[in-house]
Amino acid sequence: MKTAPFSCTYTPELPILLRQLNCSIGISTYQAGKIIFLSPGSEGRIVQLPRSFVKAMGIALKGDRMAVACKDEIILLKNSPQLAQFYPKKKNTYDALFMPRASYYTGVLDIHDLDWTADDQIIGINTSFSCIVKLDEHFSFTPIWKPHFITKIASEDRCHLNGMAIENGKAKYVTAFNDGDTPKSWRAVVTSGGIIMDVESNEIIARNIPMPHSPRIFDGALYLLLSATGELVKVDLATGKYDVVTKIGGFVRGLSRIGDYAFVGLSKLRKTSSTFSKLKIAETADVCGIAAVHLPSGKLIGKLVYQNSVEEIYDVQVLPGMIRPGILNTIKPEYKMGLMTPDTTYWASPEIGN
């Protein structure tokens, strides 16, 4: 029997956990070109809301604002609970609604992780040009940091710089697949040559990391995902060694936390990929979805697995305090009808402007 698009299965513990934590989960899938919100519905269900964003990658969240890295632009959105309440298609359904407010037309940069700094700048990992960049209305991007071994800012993906951890509103740690300085030099050591760097000192603090992704600082400690081994780990910054919190299995990428719980993205490996075929987990990484982990114990609490439509996830973002959030994109014109001022909101009549 043919299943509906975005069909998924999940353990009964997952919607219960989301309800207890009073949150939803946002995921990005560049393969399917979607941002998907996963929310706890009634009667132990998971409710999905997929929205099209071309090659969606990093998701940044700061208060009521969201930024999404897409193929050739960064889309900025703002949550309006008031517009959510009166959303014409589903009134009194959503408790949040992220509305597009601006876009930075960057061109094709291959932005991976994305976040806001303490001084409200949007910064991201520009994987193609091997550097951290500032994103604004002035330029396609402004380089603000590069690894010391990168001798030239060029669109050559020299070390596959991919992950960024923020501490006190500043980029603190980054991950890359190696410390090479030639075009795609990382491919030769993709399964074992990964590094972790301290941005402030511009020093490598750990080597031989198996495909690191999604570095995050939780309560002053550095956690990250080892995609080549399917593990969530905690790094000892003094020695560069790491302890395995839990082995999830599969290709892990995308990490976010709320309270004692971490949510991890799982991707189905492309068997035809020359990169992924080298991984030891290549034969077993056959599911895509998210896993919920109890951080103090490392215990797997719940899991969601897609049956179709979604095969690769890049980012995972907890949406705290939102039980049924909505989001609109700039592809369909309905977002133009939602109007916001500092004092109030309006849903314009469809006839306006016709």
For residue 277, what pLDDT is reported? 66
Q: pTM here?
A: 0.95
Task: Report whether 169 contacts 117 (CB < 8 A).
Answer: yes
Residues 210, 285, 264, 61, Cα dihedral to 10°: 90
For residue 349, what pLDDT is reported? 79
Number of H helices, E strands in the chain: 2, 28
DSSP designation for 151: -
Encoded tokens for 304: 């969601």
Amino acid 139 reads F
Give the right CATH number for 8-347 from 3.30.70.3270, 3.40.50.2300, 2.120.10.30, 3.30.450.20: 2.120.10.30
Phi, psi of 333 (to 5 degrees): -75, -5
For residue 280, what pLDDT is reported? 74
Quote the strand ranges of 5-160, DSSP E. 8-10, 23-29, 34-40, 46-52, 59-62, 65-69, 73-79, 96-105, 111-116, 122-126, 131-135, 142-145
The position carrying tokens 């806001």 is 116
**Where along the chain do its domains lie?**
8-347
Task: Report whether 208 contacts 193 (CB < 8 A).
Answer: yes
From first to last of its 354 residues, what are the pLDDT tens digits of the chain? 678 999 999 999 999 999 999 999 999 999 999 999 999 999 899 999 999 999 999 999 999 999 999 999 999 999 999 999 999 999 999 999 999 999 999 999 999 999 999 999 999 999 999 999 999 999 999 999 999 999 999 999 999 999 999 999 999 999 999 999 999 999 999 999 999 999 999 999 999 999 999 999 999 999 999 999 999 999 999 999 999 999 998 999 999 999 999 999 999 987 666 666 667 777 778 899 999 999 999 999 999 999 999 999 999 999 999 999 999 999 999 999 999 999 999 999 765 443
Task: Round to whole Å and give the CA distance between 48 and 116.
Answer: 27
**DSSP output for 156-200:** S-SS---EEEEETTEEEEEEES----STTGGGGGTTT-EEEEETT
For residue 279, what pLDDT is reported? 74
Task: Round to whole Å and give the CA distance between 170 and 96.
Answer: 28
3-state secondary structure of 335: helix
Task: Give strand pairing partners of 306.
Answer: 8
